[in-house]
Structure 1
Amino acid sequence: MAQRPPPTPMLQAFVSAAQTGSFARAASELNLTASAISHQIAGLEEWWGVQLFERHSRGVNLTVAGQALLPVTDVFFKALDGVLHSLNPGKSQPLYLSCTSSLCSTWLIPRMHGSHAEASFNLDLVLTSADMSGASLEAHQYDVAVVMGYGDYPDHHVELLMRDAVFPVCSPEFLRLKGDIALDDVARYPLIHRVDDQVCPGWESWFAFQGLTAPPYHHGPRFPDSSLAISLAVKGGGIALGRTALVYDQLEDGALVALNSPVMMSPAAYYIICRNGRETEPDIARLIDWLKISAGEFLREVRGRHPQIAGVGAI
């Protein structure tokens, strides 16, 4: 006899947690508590008799069993959406726009403010934040995504959104207390780090770019998300590596200042991606156009307002 399928809420919690890499983010996405998501996942693991996630302090990772089951459950929900849409074609479906978590909170959301009322951006959107790489694209639900990488996304339509310059930033109060900070002395001050920065340049790369010898190991707080590191810098907790799109608004309102140093271009860039062939769909084309127009306006503003960090560009 075939095993009875588990309740749909358990499956939804599993797919959301797998796609976001966090019970907390899955809870936010599904309007539940993290405890409720944890109970749903635990119930599903007991139902199927397998462990689906490895739990750790920074989030969750799929086990081998979870990786095997995710495509099946994800396809189930997509197929269900497709059938429901075919039964009720007059009901419009929202677009899912996914964006790297740091860019989403510091650049995208502020520029979406008010735009939803404009004719050029009157779209029904579901905005999600996730740090996706080429290997994890299939684990996320999206129609359009803004990702950070090198532009190699097979089976996808890819357009360059913009590039970032990288430079050290701190709060005005921190700079006032420490006085002028010479490049040769940066390593003597509290540095704020971003962990797991295979794509984002870290302090080691910055020291090498400046022709300086990096300390063998520099103690300091470490964050999995660039926006968290920048938030600590705003509070006066030390010097962080800022990227143009992530710190521009704080430079504008005076919450941060950039140290006087040559800017380093990030080897990775922000790209807009969608599945091949979907770029011609009217709503997706409008969304891509809006993203590119917004990036173009932003880069022109950077060059006019803060030319010292204007080593940025887009197609």
Structure 2
Amino acid sequence: MAQRPPPTPMLQAFVSAAQTGSFARAASELNLTASAISHQIAGLEDWWGVQLFERHSRGVKLTAAAQALLPVAEGFFKELDAVLHSLNPGKSQPLYLSCTSSLCSTWLIPRMHGSHAQASFNLDLVLTSADMSSASLSAHQYDVAVVMGYGDYPDHYVEPLMRDAVFPVCSPAFQRLHGDIALADIARYPLIHRVDDQVCPGWESWFAFQGLAAPPYHHGPRFPDSSLAISLAVKGGGIALGRTALVYDALKEGALVALKAPVMMSPAAYYIICRSGRQSEPDIARLIDWLKAQADEFVREV
């Protein structure tokens, strides 16, 4: 006899927790408490007789069983939405636009201001922020996403959006306090770190690009998100590595100044992606066109 399907709230909790990587974020997404999400997940594990998550102090990790079950659970909700839409085509469904968290807060949202009233952008959007890699795409809900990488997104329609330069920035108050900072002396000052990786170069990469010897270890706050590092620089907390799209508005407004140094081009670029075949859907095509228009205008201004 086939096993009865579990209650829908359990499935929703599972999919949301898997996509966000956190019971707390899933709770916020579903307007529940983290305890309620944990209870639903535990109930689903009992229902199916498998462990779905490994619980750690810093979050949760999907087990092999969860990785096998997640596409099925995600597919259930997507197919349900598709059938409901076909039965009631007059009721529009919002588009899910996902964007890297730093670009979302510093570049995308300011350019959305006022755009929702324009005919070219009058779309029903749910905006989410997530830093997605090629390997983690299946764990996120999106119709269109702006990602940072190298363009290798199998089974996706991919459009280049723009590329950043990388250069040191600080607050005007910090510059007034310390005067002109020579390129060779930057390591002597408080540095604000973005955790270095291949996609987002950090100070180690920048020093190497400049042909300078980096200190063996440089104390300072380390952030997983570039916008957090930039926020501390705006407050006068030290020198951060800025990327063009993330600091341009702050430079224009005088909240930041750029130090004199040769710019380093980011090894990665921003791309617009959606699943193959969906780029021709009218609302998705309009959203892609709007994103490209905003990026083209921004690049011309820069």
Q: 1:193 offset after TM fit, Å?
A: 1.4
1:31 paired residue number: 31
TM-score w.r.t. the length of structure 2 is 0.93
2:142 paired residue number: 142
8 Å contact 2:198–2:267 — kept in the other structure?
no
Separation in 2, partners of 1:92, 1:151: 31
Separation in 2, partners of 1:93, 1:222: 39
8 Å contact 1:58–1:224 — kept in the other structure?
no
Q: 1:158 offset after TM fit, Å?
A: 0.9
For 2:148, what is the secondary structure of its paired residue?
Answer: strand
Q: 1:89 offset after TM fit, Å?
A: 2.1
Q: 1:239 offset after TM fit, Å?
A: 1.3
CA displacement 1:258-293 (0-9 Å, x = unmatched): 111111100100001112222111111111110010
For 1:60, what is the secondary structure of its paired residue?
Answer: strand
1:311 paired residue number: none
Quickly say closer, same or farther: Cα 1:215–1:75, change in 2 above 3 A. same
Quickly say closer, same or farther: Cα 1:193–1:154, change in 2 above 3 A. same
For 1:75, what is the secondary structure of its paired residue?
Answer: helix
Q: Superposition RMSD on alpha carbons, in Å?
A: 1.9
* 183-192 vs 52-61, which moves further: 52-61
1:265 paired residue number: 265
8 Å contact 1:168–1:241 — kept in the other structure?
yes
Separation in 2, partners of 1:128, 1:266: 24
* 47-56 vs 230-239, which moves further: 47-56
Separation in 2, partners of 1:110, 1:27: 27
* 180-189 vs 23-32, which moves further: 23-32
Separation in 2, partners of 1:253, 1:19: 36
For 1:192, what is the secondary structure of its paired residue?
Answer: strand
Separation in 2, partners of 1:160, 1:209: 25
Identity %: 89
Separation in 2, partners of 1:231, 1:107: 14
Quickly say closer, same or farther: Cα 1:223–1:37, change in 2 above 3 A. farther
- The letter for the 2-side match of 1:231 is S
TM-score w.r.t. the length of structure 1 is 0.89
Equivalent residue pairs, number: 302
Q: Does 1:161 align with 2:167?
A: no
* 38-47 vs 215-224, which moves further: 38-47
Q: Does 1:123 align with 2:123?
A: yes
- The letter for the 2-side match of 1:272 is I
Q: 1:163 offset after TM fit, Å?
A: 0.4
CA displacement 1:75-133 (0-9 Å, x = unmatched): 11111112212222221111111111111111111111111110001111111111111
Q: Equivalences for 1:156-235 in 2 at 5 Å?
A: 156-195=156-195, 197-235=197-235
Quickly say closer, same or farther: Cα 1:281–1:186, change in 2 above 3 A. same
8 Å contact 2:100–2:148 — kept in the other structure?
yes
- The letter for the 2-side match of 1:17 is A
* 221-230 vs 34-43, which moves further: 34-43
- The letter for the 2-side match of 1:250 is A
For 1:274, what is the secondary structure of its paired residue?
Answer: strand
Separation in 1, partners of 2:16, 2:247: 29
